[in-house]
Amino acid sequence: MITKLVEDLLNKNLDIDEYVERTYERIEKIEKKIKAFITIRDKEEVKREVREKLKNPKGKLSGILIAIKDNISTKGIRTTCASRMLEDYVPPYDATVIEKLKQEGAVILGKTNMDEFAMGSTTETSYFGPTRNPWDLERTPGGSSGGSGAALAAGIVDIALGSDTGGSIRAPAAYNAVFGLKPSYGTVSRFGLVAYANSLEQIGPMAKNAEDLALLYSIISGDDPKDATTIHFEPQVPEKVELKDVKIAVLKDIVEASDKPVVSIFNSTLDKLSSEGAIIKEVNLGYAEYALPAYYIIAMSEASSNLARFDGVRYGYSKYYEGNWRETFAKNRGEGFGIEVKRRILLGSFILSAGYYEEFYIKALKIRRLIKDNVDNILKEFDLIASPTMPILPPKIGEVVEDPIKMYAMDLNTVIANLAGVPALSQPAGFYNNLPIGLQLMGRYLSDYYIMAISAKIEKVLNLYDLTAPIS
């Protein structure tokens, strides 16, 4: 637990040098096998900063090392979005969430690998190469926050930040047997997050247990004058929650689309919750078959707009200066972006073009509204919505990345929360042939603390938390 770790560092029960050295020894031993990081800071520099934070301790994370997804701006530390386009980009400012972490005494260890510009579900589209799952090096860690998930599972760090546009925190949380929260839209500032799809994405916490997850969320959440999409809200922290009489809706049409091993572990988890007094009932989401198309139409449309700024002229990959602006633009973007990013930009531009805007984009927005209304209606009757986090087991490296339709289909269970704007959490549910499977909980808008409190109860029932993959 982070609070205990801070206490040990402050009381000198744990030596600062030992804490940092132990982390770098772990990196030295396993980083080459998993490739969780794109940038790792100099050990002596990190050690000095940890000492400084503990000399004048002011926050909940005094001296604690944290891993940051590489699409979140960090002043003076390279931020690449796992793309050739930003290979050498060093931001001149910190994202709001980074400012908040530093105020609480956290020290950035490094920037984690991810799918390029967060576009992918396996952390294989990274320009710097794929991250591997610490539980099985032949498999992916999920994406796009796969580096953060792998760093947690491998025991390098205890807390990390990811971002979630359609499941990018929850997929790696499920596949790495850790905890991840996609917060209610607007509760965490997006200022300093390199944008992919503004109306869907949120920065969120990742940790090895529910308590640390809630602690990290409490630090990074809150409104921000620099981000007009944030809202002012009073944190609704429940004093006490019990599983007894908690009403849980199970999305039948989502569960039916999941593979048998996943459903088997999921049903076993439900049985345990039921034995604790939870009331579980199957419901249909409705419009489930349209969730993925609607999500990808909206996400790709917003991506084509957001990524227009990377023109190879003002900043980014700038190898060519042809005299002809169009050719310069085309060549720099053609080489600067990877295949998946180019695919999404092209599809998004097509969707937004004259004649197709109403045919695709407007229809997708209407479906989004219908799905949101259905989610809200279910949550009027139930306290939570449950489903498997991912419909399949962690795929092998190369298994889905070459087939975009297969890769997009992996997001079926997770995109619903992004379309509806509600909080969603993934936590370990169990293992099938030593491969992690996640349980997803969705709650009412602004019920983030409630679902984390329920998650803490579930982790005790399942006895699955603070898990570290047996990799050495």
pLDDT tens profile 85-122: 999 999 999 999 999 999 999 999 999 999 999 999 99
pLDDT tens profile 23-56: 999 999 999 999 999 999 999 999 999 999 999 8
321 pLDDT above the threshold of 80: no
What average pLDDT is seen over the chain?
96
Q: Count the neighbouring beta carbons within 10 Å of the beta carbon of residue 33.
A: 14
461 pLDDT above the threshold of 90: yes
Helices (H), 80-237: 96-103, 146-153, 170-176, 210-220
313 pLDDT above the threshold of 90: no
Q: What is the pLDDT of residue 48?
A: 97
Q: What is the DSSP letter of 74?
A: B
314 pLDDT above the threshold of 80: no
State the SS3 of 283-335. ECCCCHHHHHHHHHHHHHHHHHHHHHHCCCCCCCCCCCCCCCHHHHHHHHHHH
Identify the band that residue 354 occupies on the pLDDT scale cut at 50, 70 and 90: confident
pLDDT tens profile 408-418: 999 999 999 99
CA atoms within 13 A on the CB side of 328: 16
Q: What is the pLDDT of residue 95?
A: 98
Q: What is the pLDDT of residue 323?
A: 72
Please give the single-letter amino acid code of residue 35. Answer: K
2-242+424-462 CATH choice from 3.90.1300.10, 1.10.10.10, 2.60.40.1930, 3.30.70.20: 3.90.1300.10
Q: What is the pLDDT of residue 328?
A: 84
Buried b (16+ CB within 10 A) or exposed e, 147-180: bbbbbbbbbbbbbbbbbbbbbbbbbbbbbbbbbb
- The pTM assigned to this predicted structure is 0.97
Identify the band that residue 159 occupies on the pLDDT scale cut at 50, 70 and 90: very high
Residues annotated catalytic, as ranges = 69, 144, 168
pLDDT tens profile 247-304: 999 999 999 999 999 999 999 999 999 999 999 999 999 999 999 999 999 999 999 9
